Amino acid sequence: MKRGNVKGVDELRPEYKRSDLGEIVRGKYAARLAAETNVVILEPEVAKAFPNDKAVNDALRSLIKAAREADSAPPIRKRRALATG
């Protein structure tokens, strides 16, 4: 599909005036979007280990589970060495 010559085409209805729409602010919501988005960029060598997002999530869930189990496990008592002699 070819694009027609869009130069000089004004699609704004005659009853609307640009001055009525207010000031244009570039990136007005950029900070809010950045705060609400949790995109994580993986290092290339890490990304090679995981074929998709499901694999990453599964690995992280198992790591969280292992960490929780390690925190709740009773401490390991070390045996005292028997004195020989």
| pTM of the predicted structure, to 2 decimals | 0.46
Statement: residue 14 has pLDDT above 70: yes
Output the pLDDT for position 1. 57
Q: Residue 52 has what DSSP assignment? A: S
Separation between Cα atoms, residue 66 and residue 1, nearest integer Å = 55
Residue pair 59/50 in contact (Cβ under 8 Å)? The answer is yes
Residue pair 18/12 in contact (Cβ under 8 Å)? The answer is yes
Q: Residue 50 has what DSSP assignment? A: -
User: Length of the chain, please?
Assistant: 85
pLDDT in tens, 20-66: 778 888 898 888 888 888 888 899 999 999 999 999 999 999 999 99
Output the pLDDT for position 36. 86
